[in-house]
A and B are shown apart, each in its own frame.
Chain A
Amino acid sequence: MSTQDDNTHTITRRSALLGIGGLGAFSVLAARLYYLQVVRAEDYKVLSDKNRFNFNTVLPERGQILDRNGVALATNKQDFRLVLVPERVSDVDRTLERINSILPLAQSTRRRIKRDIKSKAKFIPVLVGEQIDWPIFSRLNINMPDLPGVIPIEGKARNYPHHGTFAHVLGYVGKPNPEALKEDKDTLLRQPTFRMGKTGIEQSYDKVLRGKAGRKKIEVNAIGRTVREWDDDKIPAAAGTDVWLTIDSKLQSYAAELFQEESGGVAVMDIETGELRTLLSMPTFDNNLFVSGLSNAQFKELDTDPRRPQFNKVMGGGYPPASTFKMAVMLAALANNVVDPEDKIFCTGKTFIGNRDFHCWKRKGHGLVNMHEALKQSCDVYFYEIIQRLGMNKVKVFAEKLGLGQVFSLGLGGQIRGIVPDAQWKRDRLGTGWRTGDSLNAAIGQGFVLATPLQLTVMAARLANGTSAVSPLLVVGDEIAKAPPLDINPAHMAIVQNAMRAVCEEPGGTAYMPGGLGLSGIELAGKTGTGQVRGISVAERLSGVRDNKELPWKLRDHSVFVGYAPFENPRFAAGVLVEHGGSGAKLAANICRKILAKALMRDGIGPEENVVGEN
């Protein structure tokens, strides 16, 4: 009994200690709770909201790119897309099979869909297809009750309604690449459906077109599912600004038609303002393909086409200007007084310099020609003679005054400088000295001389303008410095202009065609060029130079033409280059003639009914 009492006494005594310990433990917990919920409450409230709210970026609509008349060249079209929410689809394979019966899905697409399903949270929609045709999309919509978890979505996708005619100017949009993500901290670039400009105006005016991201406040749970949207702290997206081009889309489409299957470039420019009415490289490619992503086959087709559709020839391609370079030689000769325009030089068909013959295009020779006739008939020997009196350096000055060997601020990448060579250039580039033969080649725009069709157009425009060094302009509203004076003697200019008129309007001119522009009372001035792409051997000359038609396409001459119209009070200048198009008098001249006529008609010069009719 006493031990029992001892036991209970001990237990009672020690349980008191235990009780005190327990109270102590609860006090610590209560103090901790006070610390968390009172002392630190504000910190934790902030953390709780940080958990709870997310800001979702709202994509702005991309600005359109319009032509001078407001015709949309790059726009945003309703894009019908189909997505699938994995957690709401019980049998993915069966669902895809059902979709397949309406919207055909390639095996690779199905694999991609399944990969996406695996890699993302189950509630994140996976893209099944985009840019679905309306008839198919509407059939899918009708079948929605049989396709639980599949959702039709209408979004906006970049669209180029003309499919290719403006591809090189506009460029295209695509997913930002890692470098862009590194350089540009705009949140828009981090959005999965955002597309940024990759080339062309889309790229150079990307910041203008892109717009500003908006945001919406959403409540998310721990696994990232959106629970609801909140109206406070919302910022609407600011749509991108439209970019207006100086291009006349109708004129450019017409130019594209003129080229048919040919390869090359053409530009049409307002000789006063420099506004480019056409800037076309042919053949083109459908830039819409790059928005949705190119298939391997499509890429291969583009990449292996010998006419290089992706290459922007009009400003990125350097070609021998050929005889169109002769105006620069003429102006240099007149300015330096090395020849009287009426002095006649005898053309035998060739000039012997150093240890070889330099041929005129006309094997039999032109006989006695003065400056006017030399340009009109494009006599090479005349220019061989006067460049020897001048030297290359003096010609270079005038070539550059006319716009060769330089890039223009167009707000568009992809221009090359071309080459207006001199002794210094040759030493730097080739390490050998300048020889007379080099000058002779340059005199007829061959040898080292390279120019882009755009530069040739600028040259034609400056020749037409006569007084100011007008530069090309592509984007309306671009601040452009007032064109500096051309600084060429107007009397000399008149001689060249008259000779250029003779090329087109006088019998015997290399581009003479009865009827001319086909616009009564309006005359064309211009110059042909035939750019050699191969050396012609002595043996071949002896046996007779082969006709271009007999040669493989790659070896045929480039056809070049520069011109402006009307001869009196000129409005537009154009430069045309047809790769391997043969003689400049034919293809390039024809295209130039037609496009200048069209440009004038669209500008209200010439028969009114034609303008209406062809619109």
Chain B
Amino acid sequence: MSSSRSPGSLIAKLNELNWLLPVLIMMVGAIGVVAIYSATGGKWNSGASQHLTRLMLGVIFMLAIAMTDIRVWFAIAYPGFIFALALLIGVEFFGVTVNGAQRWLDLGVMRIQPSELMKLAAVLALARFYHDLPVWRVSKPVGMLGALFIIMAPLFLILNQPDLGTGIMLAVTGVTMMFLAGINWRVITSSSILAVIAIPLFFMYGLKDYQRARILTFLDPAHDPTGASYHIIQSKIALGSGGVSGKGFMEGTQASLKYVPENRTDFIFTVIGEEFGLIGGLSTMILYILIISVCFWLASQVKQAFSHLLILGLTMTFALYVLINLAMIMGLAPVVGVPLPLISYGGTVMMTVLAGFGMILSAHIHRDVELPRGSGLLL
């Protein structure tokens, strides 16, 4: 097998690039610029311009990653995971506490959030793990324990920060990848039963008080209308009062009068729903579905298990951002602090998501590159 099918020149790579995905990404990002502009009371410099800059830089960053040979990502899968795990341990000891959660690592010039890096690193490591693992071993103890280690080690550290949202995303993405890799149905059934037993126990003993309160509030929002459930009630009012066609751009009263908290970040969708109504909300959702669909299509084009799992794992991560955020805003899930990717204000998530799309595009561009098997840490 040769690697001659790999597009060599930059021109050749650009030729292979799927242009639909970057276009859709920029469309969603543009919605973000408009929504942030409105949420900040029509001020260009309170987030909207920064968002646009980040989007532009992020797309360039994404394209740079897309141009990078898939073998680079293949090679750094494990070292990258170990590096990210080390940073997470570092956060445990040297982290900066913001809003009661220790998530940041201050590197002097910049602050980074290792849990975001881990979202990519864990997917890379799992893709690499299953790439190397023969199918017959997937449901065997070695396969199970290996995959579970890649998921559980960072999960433990992330839940300890505490960051329930990232933890859920990591766990669900990891389990999804295990499922995709071919865990047999008997294991799936028995572990589902186990999960049904384990989740209440986790709820009782594995969560911080405020996390438990958020979940209880979610189950009964009227319980505490000005406290924890205030977010949910106000965001439902914002969405609901928008109606079919919305109150109009910059006319959202819930947003401009600051009834919806954090409406520039996690609750940005309420601005879209209030000002552009069902039409705006559904259009945004359709764009997300299109992005995810394109990713699925790209996944179907690749031949290597690593690339295939990498694309689906990263897509899963992205889809989870969207699903958890929207479910949270519509009052279908507890408030766990997951932003709406590409639309919410915030640089770290933008970079994580665009780096992920870069890898997806890279995996697709280099879809014909043969990747060696069995050269990983585990046979």
In Å, the complex CA distance between A220 and B293 comes to 43
Q: How far is the CA of A33 from the CA of B239 in the complex (A)?
A: 8
Other A-B pairs beyond A34-B278, A38-B278, A41-B243, 9, CB < 8 Å: A6-B182, A7-B308, A11-B181, A11-B305, A11-B309, A15-B299, A51-B257, A219-B253, A219-B257
Interface string of A32-65 (1 = CB under 8 A from B): 1110111011011101100110000000000000
Complex CA–CA separation, A43 to B240 (angstroms):
8
A32 touches B330 (CB 8 A): yes
Verify A29–B278 contact, CB threshold 8 A.
Answer: no
* B308:A11 contact, CB within 8 angstroms: yes
Contact between chains at A26 and B316 (CB < 8 Å): no
| A337 on interface, CB distance cutoff 8 Å | no
Contacts of B330 in A (CB 8 A): 29, 32-33, 36
In the complex, what's the smallest C-beta–C-beta distance from A345 to chain B, in angstroms? 87
Q: B305's contact among A8, A26, A38, A51, by CB below 8 Å, is which?
A: A8
Q: Using A10-B180, A33-B330 as known contacts, say yes or no to A26 and B240 having CB atoms under 8 A apart.
A: no
A4 CB-CB contact with B under 8 Å:
yes
Please tell me if A18 contacts chain B, counting CB pairs below 8 Å: yes
| A37 and B239 contact, Cβ closer than 8 Å, known pairs A11-B181, A28-B332, A222-B258 | yes
What are 5 A-B pairs at a CB distance below 8 A? A15-B296, A22-B323, A44-B241, A221-B258, A222-B261
Q: Select from chain A the residue with minimum beta-carbon distance to B277.
A: A37
Q: Which size class do B's interface residues fall under?
A: 35 or more
Q: Which of B288-324 contact A (CB under 8 A)?
A: 288-289, 292-293, 296, 299-300, 303-305, 308-309, 312, 316, 319, 323
Q: Which of A25, A37, A219 contacts B281 (CB 8 A)?
A: A37
Residues of A within 8 A of B308 (CB): 7-8, 11-12
List B contacts of A3 (CB < 8 A). 134-136
A22 contacts across to B, CB distance below 8 A? 292, 319, 323
- Kindly list the 6 A-B residue pairs having the minimum CB-CB distance in the complex, ordered from nearest: A44-B240, A48-B241, A221-B257, A10-B182, A7-B305, A37-B278
Q: Is B282 an interface residue (CB 8 A)?
A: yes
The residues of B that contact A26 with a CB separation of less than 8 Å are 285, 288-289, 323
Contacts of A10 in B (CB 8 A): 135, 180-182
Cβ-defined partner of A18 (8 Å) among B239, B293, B316 = B316
B273 at the interface (CB under 8 A from A): yes
Question: Closest residue of chain B to A45, judged by CB?
Answer: B241
Looking at chain A's contact residues, the main secondary structure is: helix
A556 to chain B, nearest CB (A): 67
Say yes or no: is A19 at the interface (Cβ < 8 Å to chain B).
yes
Closest beta carbon of chain B to A589's beta carbon, Å: 72
Those of B83-133 within 8 Å (CB) of chain A: 130-131
Q: Does A227 belong to the interface (CB within 8 Å)?
A: yes
Question: In whole angstroms, what is the CA distance A38 to B281 when docked?
Answer: 12
B255-283 contacts to A (CB < 8 Å): 256-259, 261, 273, 277-278, 281-282
Please tell me if A14 contacts chain B, counting CB pairs below 8 Å. Answer: yes
Q: How far is the CB of A7 from chain B (nearest CB, A)?
A: 4
**What residues of B have a CB within 8 angstroms of the CB of A40 in the complex?**
240
A614 to chain B, nearest CB (A): 65
CA–CA, A25 and B304, complex, Å: 28
| Cα-based distance from A48 to B303 in the complex (angstroms) | 53
Cβ-closest chain B residue relative to A223: B258
